[in-house]
């Protein structure tokens, strides 16, 4: 054989070998995950078949009991956090270990599908796909957390980590007040070194989430001078509430739309002579006449930003435009902050680097960061700023989340579990060097 051809064979073997550079323990972890596939699928089906729409608090608690029993069987200490003080079902906390790095693992029990939804059951679509409410968002992620821990235990390394699992019951619709709803998450974040979230990200196993945008609400209230419409634009009559509201919205569009990762959206718009705004149910009624200048306007919407600094900048810009009123009008703007941003951070990038390397060594290819515009707010948003590093989007992948077309790619269940378990193992043995450590 020509030397050039022999060199090519040697190079190919070398590359193949380096692509599967798992140590003995990691190989045991991988095989333990594979051996647990049947149990993982059975638990997933059982959990999906229990309706746990956020406001179905009994259903949320029932799914919590299923996972509490599963984590207890895996050697975890579990407890239930009652959600009554914040108007929700509650949270499940499972803990294991007393030495080694402290890692917070985040999932949630609730779904967007109400108790009366037509979409209620786990159903196989084909050999590698199954449909069901919350199958990817995110009961599949909860199963991955459990199966990763069991694989570490099978390899004899679970005790080298301190793990705290929090499965919240209000991720899809946050309980209020936030300080009570988030108390367990915040306490865990202050305890942890690293946080890992098991949402499904953008549904692509070649991606993970290093940054998420915030989710805030705003309300704009505008007042104008009522008069016959024929007199509009007179200096002493002015422009009315409807035109002032339109000016403000378009001013925001011009000022904000070119800022990367910053968006605002008017979701409800009302203007007229009389307005009845039902804030708690985000609806209202309006009376107005074509020949009367609108006296009132109410607009509500959302704001999403990539960092606290960007939120502050947006508020300054929006407030300045609100204050520059047209004649005979006035306006007020208020904000209600919900989910903070999971801001980009060096530690998050470092975690992704290791996670991607593990994926390549397993033969699954590299993993890159999701564009923050494609990653909504999530539980990890309340945590990321309090830990040295955070990574999300490690859950079961699929399509159609938040719709009756939600389908999981079941082939990603063992894949995602192997990646997560080996990442935890490498954190335990000190391979992951974080900024400031």
Does the structure show a pLDDT above 80 at 303? yes
The mean pLDDT value for 131-146 works out to 98
> Which residue(s) pair with 304 in the sheet?
263
What's the CA gap between 165 and 161, in Å, rounded? 12
Class of domain 19-212+342-428: alpha beta
pLDDT tens-place string over residues 73-126: 999 999 999 999 999 999 999 999 999 999 999 999 999 999 999 999 999 999
CATH ID of 215-339, from 3.40.50.1220, 2.40.50.140, 3.60.9.10, 3.30.70.360:
3.30.70.360
Tokens of 365: 């290819």
Q: Is the pLDDT of residue 5 over 50?
A: no
Q: How confident is the model at residue 436 (pLDDT cuts 50, 70, 90)?
A: low
Asked if residue 344 has pLDDT above 80, the reply is yes
Decide which of 17 and 189 is more confident: 189
* Banded pLDDT at 9 (limits 50, 70, 90): very low
Q: How far is residue 130's CA from residue 145's CA, in Å, rounded to a whole number?
A: 19
Q: What is the pLDDT of residues 144-153, one digit of tens each?
A: 999 999 999 9
Cα first-last separation, the chain = 52
d(CA 35, CA 37): 6
Could you report the per-residue pLDDT of 375-410, keeping only the tens digit for each? 888 999 999 999 999 999 999 999 999 999 999 999
Supply the pTM of this predicted model. Answer: 0.89
Show me where the domains of the chain are located. 19-212+342-428, 215-339
Q: What is the pLDDT of residues 62-83, one digit of tens each?
A: 999 999 999 999 999 999 999 9
Q: What is the pLDDT of residue 224?
A: 98
């Amino acid at each position: 054989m020509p030397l050039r051809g022999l060199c090519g064979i040697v190079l190919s073997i070398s590359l193949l070998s380096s692509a599967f550079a798992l140590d003995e323990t990691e190989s045991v972890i991988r095989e333990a995950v594979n051996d647990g596939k049947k149990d993982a699928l059975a638990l997933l089906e059982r959990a999906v078949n229990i309706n746990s729409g956020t406001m179905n608090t009994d259903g949320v608690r029932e799914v919590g009991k299923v996972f509490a029993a599963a984590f207890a069987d895996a050697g975890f200490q579990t407890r239930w956090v009652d959600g009554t003080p914040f108007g929700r079902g509650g949270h499940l906390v499972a803990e294991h270990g007393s030495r080694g790095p402290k890692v917070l693992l985040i999932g949630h029990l609730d779904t967007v599908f109400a108790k009366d939804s037509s979409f209620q059951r786990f159903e196989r679509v084909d050999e590698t796909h199954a449909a069901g409410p919350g199958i990817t968002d995110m009961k599949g992620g909860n199963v991955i957390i459990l199966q990763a821990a069991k694989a570490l235990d099978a390899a004899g390394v679970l005790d080298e980590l301190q793990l705290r699992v929090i499965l919240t019951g209000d991720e899809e619709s946050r309980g209020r007040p936030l300080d009570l709803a988030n108390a367990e998450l915040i306490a865990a974040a202050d305890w942890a070194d690293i946080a890992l979230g098991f949402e499904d990200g953008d549904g692509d196993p070649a991606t993970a989430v290093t940054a998420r945008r915030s989710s805030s609400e705003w309300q704009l209230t505008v007042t104008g001078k009522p008069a016959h419409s024929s007199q509009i634009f007179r200096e002493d009559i002015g422009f009315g509430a409807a035109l002032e509201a339109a000016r403000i919205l378009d001013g925001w569009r011009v000022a904000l739309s070119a800022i990367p990762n910053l968006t605002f959206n008017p979701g409800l718009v009302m203007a007229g002579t009389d307005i009845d705004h039902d804030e708690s149910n985000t609806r209202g009624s309006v009376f107005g006449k074509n020949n009367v200048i609108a006296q009132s306007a109410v607009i509500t919407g959302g704001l999403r930003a990539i960092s606290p600094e960007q939120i502050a900048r947006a508020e300054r810009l929006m407030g300045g435009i609100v204050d520059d009123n047209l004649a005979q009008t006035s306006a007020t703007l208020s904000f209600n902050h919900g989910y903070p941003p999971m801001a980009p951070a060096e530690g998050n990038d470092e975690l992704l680097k290791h996670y991607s390397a593990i994926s390549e060594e397993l033969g699954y290819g590299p993993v890159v960061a999701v564009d923050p515009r494609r990653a909504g707010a999530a539980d990890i948003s309340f945590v990321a700023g309090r830990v040295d590093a955070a990574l999300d989007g490690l859950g079961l992948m699929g399509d159609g989340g938040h719709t009756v077309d939600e389908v999981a790619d079941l082939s990603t269940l063992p894949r995602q579990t192997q990646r997560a378990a080996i990442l935890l193992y490498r954190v335990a043995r000190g391979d992951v060097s974080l900024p400031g450590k």
